[in-house]
Structure 1
Amino acid sequence: MTNQLIDHKLAPACGEAGRRRFHLSLTDRIVLRAYLLFHAGVWTIVYAAGWLFADQGTPARALPVLSRWARWDARLFVSIAKDGYFPNGVGAKDAREAFLPGFPLVLRCVHSVIPQWNVDGLLVSFVAGGVAALALSRVVQTTLPGQEGGERSVFFLLASPCAVFLVAGYSESLFLSLALPAWLAAKRGNWRLAASLACAAGAVRVSGLFLATAMVVQFAMSGRVRSQARLLPWLALPFMPMLAYTCYLYAHTGDWMAWEHAQERGWFRGFHYPWQTWCNTWKAAFSHTQSAPYAFMFQMELVAVATGILLLVVLVRQRLWPEVTYVGLSLSALGTSYWYMSVPRASLLWWPLWSLLAAWSVRRPWVRSAFVAVAVPLMALITVTFTSGRWAG
């Protein structure tokens, strides 16, 4: 009788706790609504651009809207998911070894349920992007309490110039959907969960190594290294995917540097000194050696690098050393190639940037208006550029 009474009293409490655990707050609902509106806006741009920029010699005919997303890296990811890295037992000529296997593996799993490759990539990015938006909002709320900070950070991310890559079948959304919850777990001291999520993120993009290193710095700064020394092996877990992938490539190529050599072969990402990289990119942007569209994108690369350097300076001044580690390693990797390549797209992964902009805009409302005036037109332009098959980073 007593046990039944206790169970009867505990049941509502347990049910209420479960509902609270999975309850979406007001901020979460606002963030998701903004995310859906962002997707609607991007798809509207893509649909309209397909008609406005269709071949004028073909009356009333535009490329099917789904086909417009099968561009550049999206095609490579699908090729890896379909045929692997070494079709017919030999390496492909498209430098596909430069892409880590996490995203293609997820694509292949989704394809077993929805057998349409273009839809699969878009669906993965759609679901992962929603998770990333919620996680970004919650990460920002750890340092900028209140509803407004989380909402604003997501707004800045979704309005950023390269936000179209959060919609396309690219790996940015999936990486953020794992990396941001990992960072949130690390901030809360849940290191096992943080390491597990960071390990999954490390299988998606090489940026997972930067995340893993930043988490080590975060752990060292927690002041509990001695008392939590048993957790140190967990911090090695996020480094394992890149190590395993390197061994996999070596087994097939006999080259321990196969990943780096694929980067060099496909995107000229061999090591150069930072000043050489800046000069080479400047020449490509302004010396009339490239076609006009490519020259413009190189100009965007320079702006993105300058933004990253400014971000790094602000983080150093605020002594946010884990964030300094993450952004600094990202800039170092991107800033020592022959020229800058895909830095604007990589800036989507710099969540400290969106956090700082959110905090700044709370104090100075004009920041948000200025950002909209500059970034949103660029976002529309890059969306049209990418979905029309031109290079957009």
Structure 2
Amino acid sequence: MRLARLAPPSTLDGASGRTVVQAWLASRGLIALVALVLALREGRRVTDMVSNWDVQHFTLLAQGGYFAEPDNILMAFFPGLPALLAAGLAVGVPVAVGGVVLSLICSGMAAAALARLGGPWAAALWLFAPTAVFTTVPYTESLFCAAAFWAWERARADRWGTAALLATVACTVRVSGLFLVGALGVMILTAGGLSLVDRIRRAAWLLLPAAAILAFATYLHALTGSWTAWYTAQSTGWVRQLTTPWQSFLNTIPAIVPGAYADHPWWAAVFRGEVVSMAVGLLVTVWCLTRRLWAEAAWVGVQVVAFSLSYWFFSVNRATLLWFPLWIMLARWGVRRPAGVGPGLVHRALVVAGVGLGVVGMIWWSWLFFTGHWAS
């Protein structure tokens, strides 16, 4: 099966592996340092600091199931992560501890897969992403990325049985698993050198992850009598009503102007990040299309479309962690060697500045989350 590849290497040598391990240690260590400094300065427990926002929902799910909160808003979350957290609780491991350990392990696994897809610098950039704090706390990003990135890597290697099993895991974690199944389907459709029978055989494997999503919808229907329980929970808890892209953009504009939230000064800054993340998603989609990376373009592009159909641009900042072509694109740009001394120096300065801004952004986003500010 002939596939367009984002980067030639499919294996990591010793030097590349060390680069990824060092980036994992440095990025996780820097985030931990932010938490430690805040804990010492504010007299708070680290376990409390990593338990903000959606971690509260995951904790309730792990402890009491989908009816543990009013209005059924917990049905907005897929069961994969809460089930693992509940297993930890069953053996006496608190959610804050078990969730952090799980995220740390899975972030390393995701980085390893990304390194195989796009090289060690793509993995390093992902580990130092501005919103990387969400890959260290009890959120779904690390677990989903580990499963989804490895599913993609295995599909690229034409190991569709393993890819389907990993995609099934991803489909139990986030609704983004649905987009993963679709993008893998595009990979099969656009692959060269396959007969119709070969394509059907590979596509049949995708019934497995699709069944996981159907099983979750069926389970929620059994609980509520509604096939739209997930969507209703999203609308009730997070204002995610179906909206046209233009209206979604217009609804976001008032949230990004200075002084939009006088009582929450950082909210407008995060919403500005949402707009930037949407623009980045469009850029990555176009980048993939110009290189005939049809499956990768579908993976990012369909998510951008989905976010544009919400009431406003929301949670896109975190979704950039799922867009592995973004980090591969940035890594390719970072390692290129422009002709001439002047252009080379300018490029190097831009790379250093970009990496520095990314690290500063990661520290700032970690501070937002650990101090309880809204962090997307």
TM-score of the two chains, using structure 2 as the length reference: 0.89
> How many angstroms apart in 1 are the aligned matches of 2:160 and 2:349?
38
Query: Is 1:189 aligned with 2:147?
Result: no
Match of 1:376 in 2: 359
> How many angstroms apart in 2 are the aligned matches of 1:351 and 1:302?
19
> How many angstroms apart in 2 are the aligned matches of 1:283 and 1:108?
40
- Per the TM alignment, residue 110 of structure 1 is displaced from its structure 2 partner at its CA by 2.8
Aligned to 2:185, which of 192, 200, 216?
216
**Are 1:97 and 1:262, in contact at CA under 8 Å, matched by a contact in 2?**
yes
Deviations 1:215-239 (A, max 9, x none): 1111112231424233332122221
> How many angstroms apart in 2 are the aligned matches of 1:305 and 1:230?
35
Percent identity among equivalent residues?
A: 36
Match of 1:83 in 2: 64
Deviations 1:261-288 (A, max 9, x none): 1111111101111111111111111164
Counting only pairs closer than 5 Å after superposition, residues 229-248 of structure 1 correspond to structure 2 as 229-248=200-219
Please tell me the root mean square deviation across aligned C-alpha atoms, in Å.
Answer: 1.8
Higher-RCO chain (CA-CA 8 Å, sequence separation at least 6): 2
* 3-state SS in 2 of match to 1:256: coil
Match of 1:172 in 2: 141
Counting only pairs closer than 5 Å after superposition, residues 220-369 of structure 1 correspond to structure 2 as 220-223=189-192, 224-228=194-198, 229-286=200-257, 288-291=259-262, 292-363=265-336, 364-369=347-352
- Per the TM alignment, residue 24 of structure 1 is displaced from its structure 2 partner at its CA by 7.7
Match of 2:370 in 1: 387
> How many angstroms apart in 2 are the aligned matches of 1:378 and 1:231?
41
**Are 2:35 and 2:370, in contact at CA under 8 Å, matched by a contact in 1?**
yes
> How many angstroms apart in 1 are the aligned matches of 2:209 and 2:351?
35
> How many angstroms apart in 2 are the aligned matches of 1:105 and 1:367?
44
- The aligned amino acid for 1:49 is L
Q: Structure 1 residues 225, 104: CA separation in 2 closer, same or farther (over 3 Å shift)?
A: farther
- Per the TM alignment, residue 26 of structure 1 is displaced from its structure 2 partner at its CA by 3.5
Match of 2:125 in 1: 156
Match of 2:7 in 1: none
Query: Is 1:207 aligned with 2:176?
Result: yes
Q: Structure 1 residues 160, 94: CA separation in 2 closer, same or farther (over 3 Å shift)?
A: farther
**Are 2:34 and 2:366, in contact at CA under 8 Å, matched by a contact in 1?**
yes
- The aligned amino acid for 1:374 is L
**Are 1:360 and 1:367, in contact at CA under 8 Å, matched by a contact in 2?**
no
* 3-state SS in 2 of match to 1:66: helix
- The aligned amino acid for 2:171 is G
- The aligned amino acid for 1:172 is E
- Per the TM alignment, residue 36 of structure 1 is displaced from its structure 2 partner at its CA by 1.6
- Per the TM alignment, residue 367 of structure 1 is displaced from its structure 2 partner at its CA by 4.5
> How many angstroms apart in 2 are the aligned matches of 1:167 and 1:287?
30
Match of 2:33 in 1: 44
- The aligned amino acid for 1:282 is I
Query: Is 1:117 aligned with 2:101?
Result: no
Aligned to 1:29, which of 11, 15, 18?
18
**Are 1:114 and 1:120, in contact at CA under 8 Å, matched by a contact in 2?**
no
Deviations 1:269-314 (A, max 9, x none): 0111111111111111116442322111111111111111111111
* 3-state SS in 2 of match to 1:115: coil
- The aligned amino acid for 1:29 is R
**Are 2:188 and 2:202, in contact at CA under 8 Å, matched by a contact in 1?**
no
Query: Is 1:68 aligned with 2:63?
Result: no
- The aligned amino acid for 1:226 is L
Number of equivalenced pairs? 352
Query: Is 1:101 aligned with 2:79?
Result: yes
> How many angstroms apart in 1 are the aligned matches of 2:348 and 2:87?
44
> How many angstroms apart in 2 are the aligned matches of 1:255 and 1:124?
32
- The aligned amino acid for 1:104 is P
Q: Structure 1 residues 298, 245: CA separation in 2 closer, same or farther (over 3 Å shift)?
A: same
From the CA coordinates, give the structure whose radius of gyration is larger.
1
**Are 1:308 and 1:331, in contact at CA under 8 Å, matched by a contact in 2?**
yes
- The aligned amino acid for 1:334 is F
- The aligned amino acid for 1:220 is L
> How many angstroms apart in 2 are the aligned matches of 1:190 and 1:23?
18
TM-score of the two chains, using structure 1 as the length reference: 0.86
> How many angstroms apart in 2 are the aligned matches of 1:30 and 1:378?
21
- The aligned amino acid for 1:125 is S
* 3-state SS in 1 of match to 2:241: coil
Q: What stretches of structure 1 of length at least 5 have no aligned partner?
A: 1-21, 55-61, 141-149
